[in-house]
Amino acid sequence: MRLRTRLGAGVAGALNGVSRRLGLGRGTVLGGRAGMAIAPGALAELAAGRLVALVSGTNGKTTTTALLAAALEVGGRRVVTNSTGSNMPAGHFAALAQGAGGTPVVLEVDEGYLPGSVETLEPKVVVLLNLSRDQLDRSNEVRMVAGRWRRALAGSRATVVANADDPLVVYGAELAGSLLWVAGGARWRADAAGCPACGGRIEYSVDSWSCRCGFTRPRPEVSAVEEAGTTTAVFADGRRLPVTLAIPGAFNRRNALMAMAAAGALGVPAEVALAAMGRIEGVAGRFSLRRVQGVLTRVLLAKNPAGWEELLDVVAPGTGPVVVAINARIADGRDPSWLWDVPFERLAGRPVVATGERSADVSVRLHYAGVEHQRVGDPAQAVVLAGRLGAAGADGEAVEFIGNYTAFHDLLRVGA
Ligand SMILES: [Zn+2]
């Protein structure tokens, strides 16, 4: 390894440590940026010869990255990952600077950065979860992202583990030399109504999709079968394995199926991978139960209509109070008009509190959804109020707090 690369990696590690000690956050971006400034081109060198797995998609990448890392940590093997969610090159640099040269690396990758990361890091496996609208003010149109994935993966030697249920993912993946299709589910279809291949209309049936141009759902190697709140992995050869996780939600069990397939491509048996993933109890604060001003609260993150649709499935069986927290800072996307695509109607009849810097937008949306609610600007105070409203029902359920990106992280800080 070049001296400059070693120096860059050392500086990244040192800066991250200082940043942590000063309480400035985990500092992965700061250290990574400094390291890359010292040693441009070092990313490729740090990744060379290592087992690299990349995870991308609009929703679920942080969780799937954690699940895959857990599955690869078999037999006490150390795995390096960007668990703080710093999913662009500076964060990748900071992660790659850790661990000895031979340590496997599992990286979450921002959708827009995936083509560059595939070229630079030469991954063994790439996991593609889904593509939908996110951050309306600054993201490319999703079909354009799928087209860029397609060009990047056509020349890659990676095994691509791709969600056969999402037409945009299939379009992005299908030219890869080594493909493993997984029926990973696609609850949200509104962003894939048009065919990415011809611009025609995709026809959906219960468990498949196709277009008149011949672009159609590939046959999956493994599918998620959901019955009565449980998920079973069903393999093409008929083998069946239960997918049991400590974290909630059918979408997480489908993410686990994708991670299981990726781990399999890297030599970890499905049973071993599933057992390891089942022990994960929370991912970077997501799904965690904690006390916020004394009120038991489950903290959930949803940042776009597709993510909300999935999380509403998780909270829908309950009757307890729900806090909807929305900000519109740069990290959230400045344009909150996507709130009109979220089916908030499903919250009608339960205690709901709107909060966050855009609580007024949430309130108008809830009003038109026919959801009675109260509005409190401060998220912690909103949880306290929701706790009181919930106590009236005397069911003792935790408050469900669902926030978008910065609203979620703000609450983790007060509820630590
Ligand atoms: Zn078509």
How far does the centroid of ligand 1 lie from the alpha carbon of residue 205, in Å?
A: 16
pLDDT of residue 394: 46
Quote the ligand 1 centre to 52 CA distance (angstroms).
33
**Using the 8-state DSSP alphabet, how is residue 348 labeled?**
T
Decide: 152 and 113 in contact? Cβ < 8 Å: no
* Residue reference for tokens 């009109």: 340
Specify the pLDDT at position 3.
Answer: 72
- State in Å: Cα 174 to ligand 1 middle: 14
How far apart are the CA of 139 and the centre of ligand 1, in A? 24
Q: How far is the CA of 63 from the centre of ligand 1 (A)?
A: 32
| pLDDT for position 200 | 93
How far apart CA 308 and CA 313 sit, in angstroms, is 9
CA of 189 to the centre of ligand 1 (A): 16
Looking at residue 174, what is its pLDDT? 97
Q: Is domain 41-278 in CATH 3.40.1190.10, yes or no?
A: yes
Average pLDDT by stretches of 10, the chain with 416 residues: 73 66 56 70 86 94 95 91 81 84 90 94 96 66 92 95 96 97 80 86 91 96 89 95 93 95 96 96 82 90 86 86 93 88 92 95 95 94 92 67 90 76
Which residues of the chain are in CATH 3.90.190.20 domains?
A: 288-414
Q: Which helix (H) or strand (E) holds 8?
A: helix 3-21
Task: Please give the distance, rounded to the nearest whole angstrom, from the Cα atom of residue 151 to the centre of ligand 1.
Answer: 18
Phi, psi of 33 (to 5 degrees): -65, -45
Distance 145 CA to ligand 1 centre (A): 17
**Cα 87 to the center of its chain, rounded Å:** 11
- Residue 24: exposure state from Cβ atoms within 10 A (0-12, 13-18, ≥19): exposed
What architecture (CATH level 2) is domain 288-414? Alpha-Beta Complex (3.90)
119 Cα: distance to centroid of ligand 1 (angstroms): 28
| Alpha carbons 116 and 413: distance in angstroms, whole number | 33
Ligand 1 center–CA 1 separation, angstroms: 47
The string over 197-223, giving b where at least 16 C-beta atoms fall within 10 Å of a residue's C-beta and e elsewhere, is beeeebebeeeebebeeebbbeebbbb
Collapsing DSSP to helix, strand or coil, 285 comes out as coil
Give 186 Cα–ligand 1 centroid separation in angstroms: 18
Residues of the chain with CATH 3.40.1190.10: 41-278
> Are the CB atoms for 334 and 406 separated by under 8 Å?
no
pTM: 0.84
How far is 252 from 112, CA to CA, in rounded Å?
A: 23
Cα(167) to centroid(ligand 1), Å: 10
CA–centroid distance, 220 to ligand 1, in Å, is 20
Q: If you measure from the C-alpha of residue 216 to the centroid of ligand 1, how many angstroms do you get, rounded to a whole number?
A: 8
